[in-house]
Structure 1
Amino acid sequence: MKRHNAGELPLSSAPAGDGIKQVAEKEETEDKMDKYDKGRIRCSRLCFLFALAATVSILARHCYDAGLGRGGNAGVVRIEAAHAPPPPPSVRQERKIVPIARRESQVSDRSPSAPADAGDDASWKPSASESARSDDKDKAPPKEKGSPSASHGNKYGGHPFARALAAADNRDDLCGGQYIYVLDLTARFNKDMVQICDRLSLWTDMCRYTTNGGFGPLLRGGKGAFQGTGTGWYDTDEHALDIIFHERIKRYECLTDDTSLAAAVFVPFYAGLDVARHLWGNNVSARDELALDLAGLLTKRPEWRAMGGRDHFFVAGRTTWDFRRKADGQSEWGSKLLNLPAAKNMTALVVEASPWHLNDVAIPYPTAFHPASDEDLFFWQDRVRALNRTYLFSFAGMARPGDAKSIEGHLVDQCKASPVCSLMECSTTGPDNKCESPATVMKLFQSSTFCLLPRGGTDTRRPAFDAVLAGCIPVFFHPSSAYVQYSWFLPKSHTDYSVYIPEEDVRKNASVEERLRKVSPEMVRTMRDTVVRLIPSVTYSDATSRLETTVKDAFDIAVTAVINKVTKLRRGIAEGRPEEEKQERYSWKYPLLAEGQKAEDPHEWDPLFN
């Protein structure tokens, strides 16, 4: 209602006295209303202060309940300043995943698992959380962002891996389709072996090599081989991969405690360390004890029944032949781990795989370089790319007179006779063996354009990866040294990064120097650039000092490949497509096939693997 001043009031026909009285009453009314308005304003301000205090109290309580005030810093809320967005990732590689917040634990050393003594399908009972999910399936709450939708779940029917496939289809979940579940094994399968490191080898005290998460002692200086590159160089044993991989997977960005979301299941069994303790002994039962116990344990677990173990994988940092004993005679070599029915369903990551079996895949030997940042890696790549190489080729090895398949004696003789070859003759294992020194080997390979890498005691050798690390173009003499081994990590076209000279040609005294001189300078530059770009893919980086990186290393590539293998198999099952039947005797050939080719088609290397 509009209020008027006295001068605005209309004239009245009432008596004058009455008019004066009305005016006085009006003024009194206005005074009362002014006091009322002022009081109301004061009340409004007071109410506002009370409301503000209540809001602050509610917000503080909410933050506390959300977990910001719990744990070690109870009652403390940390407010961090906003940072500018990071620069775009390097064009050299793609950025790794940075997971969004979710209910599942992101990093867990000990993932909760089903009871170890769970029996067969008839006796096994679901856990309380699984029973709750089953009981509430008709009244499930709305799906959170980042969780598989109900429509996706229906798409894959009642398969036990339906939620994992649905997560892979969910673009809102940055970890969808990449979750890893780590089995919680007792310490006897892994950590206990590190505690008895002095008994892991007959000739080497492995305790120094189990330090720094399997990297071994930190190296400094390096006699010029890696000076100026900062930290990241370690005296790493080539058989320490069991520890390195396990330590790295603890920091994997997409760990989960929910097995139904897992794209793959990691089994942290130190198979390589276990078998090394008994390889030269006569106790066959001791070699197989832990392997048999593990197989019995895994096949009783509910995670195993989902796919019969075909979504499980483990790492064994030795060659496949250390785990493929066929007979039980005391003179037979190795354990029978990879010949066990359970292991045949899993994927075994070894440093050298079998050309005639399908359950193992070769991953790179660990070298001495474990960069802690992208900058360390890029600096090293630029360094080896710009080196002045004074020798055409080099060789680190020794003659093996008692080994009929070895050509190392021929290469030693050719290198000694050539002024453009640098030779490092290795001795038996021990402190005087120059080939055991990472700095000495790296210095040799950095001085050469080409590095000779024949088969030695085994088909594959760690120096192949030392050569790549040094920016030295590898020269292989048998396809089993690299081409049919590391298909996840090296280009399918071996001529892009290496030179191939058949062993038989060397035995017939073909000149290695003449073959290498035929490679044009332009091709040398192209091949070296390819080799330098391969360095990240054959390196196990140090992930303890960073949260993310733009570079995918050997660990990232291996995990991604395992997940892709499992996911492809699951989609085939869910969509009713039969799994491709592969013949084990052609396992070496499958990664080399072009589109439309069949394993039965002729290949130039058929005589070498038949």
Structure 2
Amino acid sequence: MLCHFQLLPNRKPKNASPRNTPNSILFLFKCSQLLIILLFQVYVLRFIFQYYSLPPLKPKTCEHGFVYVYELPPVFNKELLDQCRDLDPWHSRCNAISNDGLGPRATGEISGVPENLSPAWYWTDMFSGEVIYHARILKHTCRTMEPGSATAFYIPFYAGVAVAKYLFTNYTARERDWHSERLLSWVKDQPPWRRSNGSDHFIMLGRMTWDFRRSRDEDWGSRFIHMPMMKNILRLAVERDPWDALEIGVPYPTGFHPKSKLDLDQWLNFVRARNRTSLFTFVGGKRNVRGDFRTILQRHCYNESGLCRVVDCSGTRCYDGTSEILEAFLDSDFCLQPRGDAYTRRSTFDCMLAGSIPVFFWKRSIYHQYEWFLDDAPDKFSVFIDRKTVRNGTSIRKVLEGYSRDEVRKMREKIINFIPNFVYSLMPSDDDLGSGYKDAFEIAIDGVLRRMKEQNGMKINQMLN
């Protein structure tokens, strides 16, 4: 048609207005074509922009939804870090919470590990989880900046850091609760909270749950968990209350933070090939308490000096970590794990990280604690000896010698397979190495999102029915 118009003579027909001339029609036709082409290009460019502005695997890796991170007033996190010298009545906490919670590098200060893996080791404090989780979640693949698209809402409050300075000295109950009460007062005014009343919110507690469960003013800790607004909030805690369905036990941080899949694989191979010269080991300090069980274990170990290795952590000797602890675990088939201040211990994860098999004396030290990260049948990777039988004269050595070398090998292999699940790595959260590897943090956040998505699905079904 365009060619037809071009062959027409260039003269004005009778009674023809300028609009109806062939040249005018040709002009309009060309403009229409140009407009169509421009619209098509805009559509194509928009599609390309949307496609390539997202991480390629985001729909797949975020199948359970997205997490929104509250930007809290600094008094609830950043200012606590800035005041690190005042967080402990006896020791500065500045090193412990430095480096996004990883603590100082241990390079050149830790022995017993392959030299090329030394940069992956830090002096990480066992109560620094709140800082680690906050730093990691800000970079998480499934983080969203839009509250309306979130499946879960993370409250980055450093509850354990905030209460620590008030636990061991004569502070009032009101002082111990100050940060928690103000935090909840702030959160309740946020639109996402008003929409769900907190049922899609979660928090990470870097200390044992018992530090936040004060029933009476004169008792230990804060009453954070018993505050009315906490009744719907999901809690990740390094030690959970087994009877609280809103708590999930997550691993204590260890000092090993692999930066790559190669780091991790090299450590697993090193642990697997280690020549172990001791049957069992005990790492801990006795206490001046009548009938102290750790004193009994230490004495038992000294009496079996040819088979048991002792690292005496009395006083503050092990406060910032020591290479002697890691070497003792690396050299032993089994490690004794009595309860600490609570039922669980960071030492349990240090022990397993070295491929040593934990021996428990309280079932609450491992049962119903870390099921997202370890097998739900602890007898496959650990030994349980009732503390009462030990007090009555049962020989720990004889119990452990009763396991065949093949049984020991199988338990150790089970533990080695668990190591990736309970370390906190420095690998990219979106796993661009294609390894399929998920560390403790990734497993925890995936589990929260999955639980929140299922919970939301149940609510929708209830509304429809």
Q: For this structure pair, what is the TM-score category when the shorter chain's length is used for normalisation? A: 0.7 to 0.9
Residue 437 of structure 1 aligns to a residue in which SS? coil
The CA deviation at 1:438 is 4.0
Whole-angstrom CA distance in 1 between matches of 2:258 and 2:447: 22
Structure number with bigger Rg: 1
Q: Percent identity?
A: 35
Q: Distance in 1 between matches of 2:376 and 2:348?
A: 16
Match of 1:300 in 2: 189
Could you say if the C-alpha distance between residues 172 and 295 of structure 1 is closer, same or farther in structure 2, counting changes exceeding 3 Å? closer
- Asked whether the equivalents of residues 125 and 320 of structure 2 are also in contact (C-alpha less than 8 Å), the reply is no
* 2:407 aligned with 1:518: no
Q: Distance in 2 between matches of 1:362 and 1:545?
A: 21
Matched, 1:444 2:334: no
- Deviation at 1:577? 8.9
The aligned residue for residue 94 of structure 1 is none
Could you give the per-residue CA deviations for residues 502-553 of structure 1, whole angstroms, max 9, x where no partner exists? 1111111100011011111111111111111111111011146986352111
Structure 2 residues without counterparts, runs of 5 or longer: 1-33
Question: Separation in 1 of the partners of 2:290 and 2:419?
Answer: 32
Distance 1:288 1:401 in 2: 31
How do 1:307-386 and structure 2 match up within 5 A? 307-329=196-218, 332-386=219-273
Q: Is the 8 A contact 1:368 1:438 kept in 2?
A: no
Match of 1:249 among 130, 137, 156: 137
Residue 275, structure 1, aligned to residue 159, structure 2: no
Q: Which residue of 1 aligns with 2:312?
A: 425
2:443 is aligned to: 557
* Equivalent-residue separation in structure 2 for 1:245 and 1:348 (angstroms): 13
Residue 539, structure 1, aligned to residue 423, structure 2: yes
Q: Which of 169, 175, 190 is the aligned partner of 2:77? A: 190
Question: Distance in 2 between the 1:200 and 1:101 partners?
Answer: 45
What's the counterpart of residue 288 of structure 1?
177
Question: Secondary structure in 1 aligned to 2:443?
Answer: helix
Given the two structures, how large is their TM-score scaled by the length of structure 2? 0.84
Say if 2:85 and 2:92, in contact at 8 Å, map to a contact too: yes
- After TM superposition, the structure 1 = structure 2 runs for residues 166-205 of structure 1, keeping only pairs within 5 Å, are 174-205=61-92
User: 2: distance between equivalents of 1:263 and 1:545?
Assistant: 18
Measure the CA separation in 1 of the matches of 2:138 and 2:432: 14
Structure 1 residue 434: Cα displacement: 4.1
Q: Is the 8 A contact 2:205 2:235 kept in 1?
A: yes
Q: Secondary structure at the match of 1:393?
A: strand
Change (3 A) 1:553 1:100: farther
Counterpart of 2:117 in structure 1 is 229
Task: Tell me the residue number matched to 1:395.
Answer: 282
CA distance in 2, matches of 1:264, 1:545: 18
| Corresponding residue SS for 2:85 | helix
Corresponding position of 2:299: 413
Structure 1 pair 542–448 and aligned structure 2 pair: CA distance change class (3 A) = same
State the 1:226 CA deviation.
4.8
Q: Quote the Cα distance in structure 1 between the aligned partners of 2:134 and 2:452.
A: 20
In the aligned structure 1, how far is the partner of 2:347 from the partner of 2:64?
35
Alignment partners' CA distance in 1, 2:463 and 2:381: 37
The Cα offsets for residues 308-359 of structure 1, whole Å up to 9 and x where unpaired, read as 2111111121111111111223xx2111111011112101211111233333
In 1, Cα distance between the equivalents of 2:51 and 2:120?
29
Q: Residue 497 of structure 1 contacts residue 528 of structure 1 at CA under 8 Å; is this kept in 2?
A: yes
Tell me the distance in 1 between the aligned counterparts of 2:99 and 2:240: 27
Cα distance in 2 for residues equivalent to 1:570 and 1:391: 51
Q: TM-score, normalised by structure 1?
A: 0.65
Aligned residues: 421
Question: Aligned partners of 2:405 and 2:64: how far apart in 1?
Answer: 45
CA contact 1:177–1:262 (8 Å) conserved in 2: no
- 8 Å Cα contact 1:372/1:545 also seen in 2: no
Task: Give the corresponding residue for 1:266.
Answer: 154
AA matched with 2:401: R
1:454-465 to structure 2, matched below 5 A, reads 454-465=338-349
Cα 1:320–1:226, aligned 2, differ >3 Å: closer, same or farther? Answer: farther
In the superposition, relative to structure 1, how do residues 542 and 172 fare at CA in structure 2: closer, same or farther (>3 Å)?
closer
User: 1:196 and 1:541, CA in 2 relative to 1: closer, same or farther beyond 3 A?
Assistant: same
* Segment of structure 1 superposing worse, 183-192 or 223-232: 223-232
Q: Distance in 2 between matches of 1:178 and 1:324?
A: 31
1:499 aligned partner: 383
Report the equivalent of 1:213.
Answer: 100
Contact 2:380 / 2:414 at 8 angstroms: preserved in 1? yes
1:478 to partner: Cα distance: 0.9
User: Are the counterparts in 2 of residues 424 and 434 from structure 1 also a CA contact under 8 Å?
Assistant: no
Residue type at the aligned position of 2:72:
L
- Judging by fraction of residues, say which structure has more helix: 2
User: Could you tell me whether the CA contact under 8 Å between 1:424 and 1:435 is conserved in 2?
Assistant: no
- What secondary structure does 2:116 align onto? coil
What SS does the aligned partner of 1:306 have? helix
Q: Say if 1:515 and 1:367 are closer, same or farther in 2 by CA, change over 3 A.
A: same
C-alpha spacing 1:204/1:530, structure 2 compared with 1 (3 Å): same
